[in-house]
Amino acid sequence: MFNKKRHYLVLLTFILILTLLTGCFLLEDDTDLSIHIIDVGQGDSIFIRTPNGKTMLIDAGEPSAGKTVVSYLNRHYIDKIDILIGTHPHADHIGGLAEVINNFEIGKIYMPRKIHTSKTYEKLLETIRDNGLKITEAKSDITVELDEDIYLYFLNPLRDFGDDLNLWSVVLKMEYKDTSFLFTGDLESPVELELLEKYDPDFLKSDFLKVGHHGSNTSTSQEFLDNVQPIVAVISSKTGNSYGHPHKEVIDRLTKMNINVYRTDKQGNIVIRSDGEMIWSNQEPYHSN
């Protein structure tokens, strides 16, 4: 009996060590800042994890993409989202947020002060309320320290944009030591120009650009690119979408500037990493020179 018990203990210890080892291999290199552009089809969803394990999620695609985002986060052993951002009230950005809120512990929720009458938007507000959470207004000039050495600067909404929902898009600049990242939601060119007027060119310059509005030619103007000068750009869209995103003009503008372009419609999930000095990806860009 005793012997049997001992065997059992040895086996249990062996299983425990194996589990720990496998866990170590499965966990990614946690010492980097990682930016995950999750493939949610036509829509946006960007997950960010800092070296100390702080987390941020910008958008979660259409309502049907909510499950995709939840399972992606589960695969990465995430249980809390410290900062959740709904860039603007269109369903391809906020649709999956309710599913995320129902499945994870949520810290702070930022959304622009622009209401919408769609069922998806109303369901999101209801879910936020049901979970005892509240919305903090996202607007320009807010600064948040996401983690040690990692700062978030809200650049937009700059003002009231009336009923043009895309223009209300939260534009977020993230800085980690010498590296910088710009997330633009569905922002369109007229407001890109307003950002150029308001902010110092050196401040807008970013190593990484989440290309505005799924690569639509109504965004990512040459003036804006000349100022941001990204090294890496990522476009989130779906193959064969009815809008023809990403538009050829935008791809041409990016590739002419030797920017490495990644696309979720061609490559699925994209992960970009930073150690505070440089940014890289283990994947090859889809367009590069």
Residues found near Zn ion in the complex (CB under 5 A): 92, 186
**Least distance to Zn ion, CB of residue 43, Å:** 6
**Least distance to Zn ion, CB of residue 271, Å:** 21
| Residue type (1 letter), 54 | K
Number of DSSP helices (H) and strands (E) in the chain, helices first = 10, 15
**Least distance to Zn ion, CB of residue 229, Å:** 24
Q: How far is CA 163 from the centre of its chain?
A: 24
Find, among 159, 152, 157, the residue nearest to 187 by Cα: 157
**Least distance to Zn ion, CB of residue 245, Å:** 9
Which of residues 92 and 147 has its CB atom nearest to Zn ion in the complex? 92
Beta carbons of 99 and 70 less than 8 angstroms apart: yes
Find, among 143, 156, 166, the residue nearest to 93 by Cα: 166
Find, among 19, 53, 18, the residue nearest to 33 by Cα: 53
DSSP state of 285: P
**Least distance to Zn ion, CB of residue 214, Å:** 6
DSSP state of 176: E
Which of residues 51 and 89 has its CB atom nearest to Zn ion in the complex? 89
Query: Positive or negative CA dihedral for 116, 105, 49, 205?
Result: positive
Beta carbons of 48 and 147 less than 8 angstroms apart: no
Which of residues 36 and 49 has its CB atom nearest to Zn ion in the complex? 36
Which of residues 49 and 213 has its CB atom nearest to Zn ion in the complex? 213
Which of residues 179 and 236 has its CB atom nearest to Zn ion in the complex? 236
**Least distance to Zn ion, CB of residue 169, Å:** 9
Show Cβ contacts of residue 279 under 8 Å, excluding neighbours closer than 6 positions. 179, 207, 208, 231, 232, 272, 273
Query: Positive or negative CA dihedral for 222, 224, 227, 231?
Result: negative
**Least distance to Zn ion, CB of residue 9, Å:** 56
Which of residues 179 and 237 has its CB atom nearest to Zn ion in the complex? 237
Measured distance CA(281)–CA(143) in Å, rounded? 27
Which of residues 174 and 211 has its CB atom nearest to Zn ion in the complex? 211
